[in-house]
Amino acid sequence: MAATTSTNYAGKYEVKELLVKTITGNVLDLQNQVQYIDIYESIFSNSLSGSITILDVDNIAANGPIIGQEFMSLKLTTPNLENQQIDFTDTTFCIYKIVSRTSASVSAQIMTLSFTTPEALRDKRTRVSKSYTDDISNIVGNVLKDQRYINTNKNVFIEPTQGVRKVVSPNIHPNKLITTLATEAISKEHGSPHFMFFENTKGIHFKSVENMLRGVTHGTYSARELGPSEKGSKKASILKEMFRVLEFQINSNNDMLVNIQGGMLGSKTIEYNIYNKTYSSKEYKHFDNFNDFPRLEGEQSNPVFGTGSIDALGNTVGDFSDSRIHLHPVSTDGQYDIQHTNENSSYRYTPNKINDSILKRQAKFMELSTGVSVSLKITGNTTLAAGDMINILVPTVGKEHQKKNDPYHSGNYLITKLRHNFDQTTKKHEIYLTAAKDSFATSYPAPSNTQEPLGKEGKIRYY
């Protein structure tokens, strides 16, 4: 992303189109009446959502009429970045709710409308009762494009998965089916089980976290104030403002009790094979499995937890795999899915791989949702979306330090949640985002002793 001289201030944007089509066929051009536009996206959400606030001086609420069943086409651009605009003119939004209508004066009212994508409404209206025989990535693509279900014509980004599966959908909503398949998907390329199913302003995605980490880093955002030297140059100020953090917060993170209970630090599966009446167990230990897949800081990645021992037995916080246990049934001869295979079968299917995926997947999801994260308010541009990587420079606290930036919290982050706010009263675009971190570029100092201080041994007294 680069600014040019035609961008006279950071955060500038243009509303190229804002049309609302009512149930009567009326098309309302609201470009001159819109006050605010919010668009929300998250890697944990299957669809986009948002709201618009308009100043109604023509009684369009009744003359339209607007009742919560409208279609809305929207196009927003950042100057000189038109090739990366937010464009929902061919694939429109659906207005589904009138949030409020507030009197502004005798002849005007403020009206706020909620909108979402049509795919979200189609998901709630339909159910999939069907069997599929294919690899998971092809099944997902089929459900998304099938006219009976999601029927999307948006850009869809699907990462290929391993193994041909026999899948039966028991009359459930399409997005529920895809979300369930994501828990069992294994990447064909690098064996990752960390699949996410979400929508952002660039399209619909079914891919692993590792796939997202392969993307380019969308700029470096500094939480440090502008220095005096930059303020003298208008062009330098615009460039600096586009990558400066306006508000910053390190969120409450690394709740040790939650991480233990959720299986982020250690967990176990017990797989019972109903075909040959055997069982096996598999463990996940955070430090032992830390480098199984790529992380945000690449080869420099270090755990966000201290690795020292915490008891007299030499255990670390990642050595307690019994903290969360899953029991999982399977029917396999060791290679094929027996419940869909017999002597007359023309094809043999791959059994589900939950035993290979659930422990690492739940740990990764906790890292992204309840681990190290920051919340930012930055000057907006239409290039950023949930699922993108950014670099954040977090300044150290105080005056005299050898390092200007926090060695732990500075570095690469994955945007997990993002809200675009377009304010027509100030003509400024701002972004509120949450970004997560699964590793530090700098390791914690090795402790000399981190054992729990038990003190003097107590006595057991019986009454």
User: pLDDT tens-digit profile of 286-322?
Assistant: 999 999 999 999 999 999 998 888 888 889 999 999 9
114 and 127 in a single domain? The answer is: no
pLDDT above 70 (res 346): no
21 and 87 in a single domain? The answer is: yes
- Provide the pLDDT for residue 236: 55
Range of the domain at 319: 256-363
| pLDDT band at residue 120 under the 50/70/90 scheme | very high
- Provide the pLDDT for residue 331: 80
User: pLDDT tens-digit profile of 427-450?
Assistant: 999 999 999 999 999 988 876 556
Provide the number of structural domains found in the chain. 4
171 and 72 in a single domain? The answer is: no
pTM of the model: 0.89
Highest mean pLDDT range out of 51-65, 241-255, 351-365? Answer: 51-65
Where is average pLDDT lowest: 155-169, 176-190, 227-241? 227-241
Distance CA 44, CA 138 (A): 21
Distance CA 294, CA 364 (A): 12
460, part of any domain: no
Q: Which residue has the higher pLDDT, 305 or 273?
A: 305
- Provide the pLDDT for residue 226: 45
126 and 189 in a single domain? The answer is: yes
Instruction: Give the domain CATH number at 191.
Output: 3.55.50.10
Q: Which of 328, 363, 398 is the last residue of a domain?
A: 363
DSSP assignment of 132-199 equals EEEEHHHHHHHHHH-TTTT---S-EEE--BSSEEEEEEEEE-HHHHHHHHHHH--BTTT----EEEEE
Query: Rounded mean pLDDT of 374-384?
Result: 92
Cβ-contact 51, 421 below 8 angstroms: no
Phi and psi angles of residue 376, each rounded to the nearest 5 degrees, phi first: -130, 150
Alpha carbon separation from 300 to 115, 438, 446 (Å, rounded): 42, 12, 16
Angle between helices 174-184 and 118-125 (to 10 degrees): 100
Sheet with 278-285: strands ordered across: 278-285, 266-273, 325-330
Distance CA 194, CA 182 (A): 8
- How long is the chain? 463
Distance CA 242, CA 238 (A): 6
pLDDT above 70 (res 59): yes
168 and 206 in a single domain? The answer is: yes
Q: Which of 363, 395, 411 is the last residue of a domain?
A: 363
Amino acid letter, 97 = K
Q: 142: how many CB neighbours lie within 10 A of its CB?
A: 15
432, part of any domain: yes
393, part of any domain: yes
347 and 378 in a single domain? The answer is: no
223, part of any domain: yes
Those residues with Cβ within 8 angstroms of residue 426's Cβ, 6 or more apart along the chain or in another chain: none
325 and 301 in a single domain? The answer is: yes
Distance CA 367, CA 436 (A): 8
Mean pLDDT of the chain: 88
* Strand (E) or helix (H) holding 374: strand 372-379
Instruction: Give the domain CATH number at 31.
Output: 2.40.10.10
- Provide the pLDDT for residue 77: 93
85, part of any domain: yes
Q: 112: how many CB neighbours lie within 10 A of its CB?
A: 17
- Provide the pLDDT for residue 450: 60
Distance CA 124, CA 35 (A): 30
Amino acid letter, 293 = F
242 and 372 in a single domain? The answer is: yes
42 and 69 in a single domain? The answer is: yes
Distance CA 136, CA 139 (A): 5
Q: 449: how many CB neighbours lie within 10 A of its CB?
A: 7
- Provide the pLDDT for residue 2: 44
Q: Which of 95, 118, 141 is the last residue of a domain?
A: 118
In the chain, % of residues over pLDDT 70: 89
Going by C-alpha positions, the residue among 352, 371, 164, 350 that lies closest to residue 262 is 371
- Structure token pair of residue 24: 């009567």
442, part of any domain: no
- Provide the pLDDT for residue 216: 87
User: pLDDT tens-digit profile of 199-209?
Assistant: 999 999 999 99
- Provide the pLDDT for residue 243: 85
446, part of any domain: no
Query: Rounded mean pLDDT of 122-144?
Result: 96
Burial of 14 (0-12, 13-18, 19+ CB in 10 A): middle
Query: Rounded mean pLDDT of 338-351?
Result: 64
263 and 333 in a single domain? The answer is: yes
pLDDT above 60 (res 423): yes
Where is average pLDDT lowest: 45-54, 336-345, 451-460? 336-345
Cβ-contact 209, 414 below 8 angstroms: yes
129, part of any domain: yes
Indicate the SS3 state at residue 455.
coil
pLDDT above 60 (res 1): no
User: pLDDT tens-digit profile of 4-20?
Assistant: 435 678 889 999 999 99
Going by C-alpha positions, the residue among 41, 39, 43 that lies closest to residue 367 is 43
Going by C-alpha positions, the residue among 346, 311, 271 that lies closest to residue 450 is 311
Please give, one letter per residue, the 3-state secondary structure of 221-253. Answer: EECCCCCHHHHCCHHHHHHHHHCEEEEEEECCC
- Provide the pLDDT for residue 123: 97
380 and 303 in a single domain? The answer is: no
- Provide the pLDDT for residue 160: 97
386 and 239 in a single domain? The answer is: yes
